[in-house]
Amino acid sequence: MKRENAWKNYSDEELVELEELARSYKEFISSNKTERECATAAIALAEAKGYRPLEQAIAEGRALKAGDKVWSHTRGKAIVLVHIGTEPLEKGFNILGAHIDSPRLDLKQNPLYETEDLALLDTHYYGGIKKYQWVTLPLALHGVVVKTDGTVVPVVIGEDPDDPVFCVTDLLPHLGREQMSKKASEVVAAEALDVLCGSRPLIIEDDDDDDDGKDGAADDAPEWKKRAKKDPVAAFALKLLEGKYGIVEEDFLSAEIEVVPAGRARDLGFDRSMVIGYGQDDRVCAYTSLLAQLAIETPGRTAVCVLVDKEEIGSVGATGMESLFFENTIAEVMELTGAGGMLKLHRALAASKMLSSDVSAAFDPGYAGQFETKNAAFLGRGLVFNKFTGARGKSSSNDATAEFVARMRRVMDEAGVAFQLSEMGKVDAGGGGTIAFIPARYNMDVIDSGVPVLSMHAPWEVTSKADIYEARKGYEAFLLDD
């Protein structure tokens, strides 16, 4: 059952809407390259649409009623938005769930070192990457440094046109015979993903070196000055960091600095029909889910949007979907609506329906042998539903029921949403997972749905503007389904 290309059916008005959505989406993923940045931006957009902090309502003991909109976050990395509907909460919620973390390199806790007049930053990769894809790219640093007094210092270096950028070097082909004979997974070792960050030594004039005859600067001298004789290039980097951000080397111990591709998302193709940019897995689904949540008027069933962290490493930790943050937030909301209690909570969750909004693998003609075309997702053919994900024999998969698939077909058809169903490549070719199996534990109906992506998990990923547009429409139609 071949699905038609969605571009064939757009009116001039729809094309204008599509391009405006693509413009705002490119801005979002260009400005927000970490889970913290995404959560902060999402909260700002929500508050502009009338959402208020749930914690404030709790503190005030203020009752919530139909039409009220609240948000909650945990550790600045995961958020839940709730728009209370007119139906009793025990009848369940319509939930959109996406993740806002993406594959990247993280700086280690003791990252800075110098060797042979070069300063480098040691990294540990995060999520499933092809390590060789991360060499020789312009890279930026995004994150926070938290000082011992609790001060949080945001760090973004490499995005402004006047900023420097960073890179991981690679071996020239003239000397790469041994390297090129290795398997792709071994061509670049994980411990070789060190970021080049400096080559200029710090020059300390003799009259500035007040060390009282000791090997080094005075005890009360800045740390960079003490390090200048042994590691002058690293010392220069530290001096610059202290001057701009007020941070010292010890502060790296309590920092979360992510190394990501530098630069903004761009239109791709002569026809500008696609978007190329970093972090589209899964921010393309997170952004369209967020916009759908913010667009609806007072719904019948309560509408919920969940944007979580740590999906790329198993949804673990306090900010991942495995934590109790989501359940606790819903419990607090139900308490403030007068429907509190564990039994009512679990009845409501079991009666809920969820779209696990995550990307799917788009058919790539360059690697056609890895796909079974009758059951593949294609760029430009709309929102993708994956009845199941997992690997091999559907291992670790949420396998949605036929009844729920049929319901989603009806919802999309009635809303005029272009959609397709797919698998993640050929059986036994590989596989992947999402957060879907976790909320399914509450006995709710869950299905994976998202945007097809080319070059998934690469530093630069590709999506179709048409699929982004259809996802935005489809998610809103789902939230309004009674």
pLDDT of amino acid 223: 81
DSSP states of 326-361 as a string? HHHHHHHHHHHTT--SHHHHHHHHHT-EEEEE--EE
Question: Mean pLDDT for each consecutive 10-residue tract of the chain (482 residues)?
Answer: 91 98 98 98 98 97 96 97 97 97 97 96 97 97 96 96 97 94 95 97 70 56 85 94 92 97 98 98 97 96 98 94 97 96 96 96 95 94 91 83 96 97 85 88 96 97 98 98 92
**Residue among 100, 131, 451, 123 at smallest CA distance from 305:** 100
pLDDT of amino acid 40: 98
Contacts of 180 (CB under 8 A, 6+ apart): 173, 187
pLDDT in tens, 416-467: 999 999 988 888 887 778 899 999 999 999 999 999 999 999 999 999 999 9
What is the pairing mode between strands 69-74 and 52-53?
parallel
Residue for token pair 């004979």: 181
**Integer Cα distance of 78 and 100 in angstroms:** 8
pLDDT of amino acid 293: 98
**Integer Cα distance of 264 and 276 in angstroms:** 9
Enumerate the H helices of 246-341 as residue ranges.
280-295, 325-336
pLDDT of amino acid 2: 79
pLDDT of amino acid 213: 42
Indicate the pTM of the whole model: 0.95
Exposed (0-12), middle (13-18) or buried (19+): which is 393, by Cβ within 10 Å?
exposed
pLDDT of amino acid 392: 80
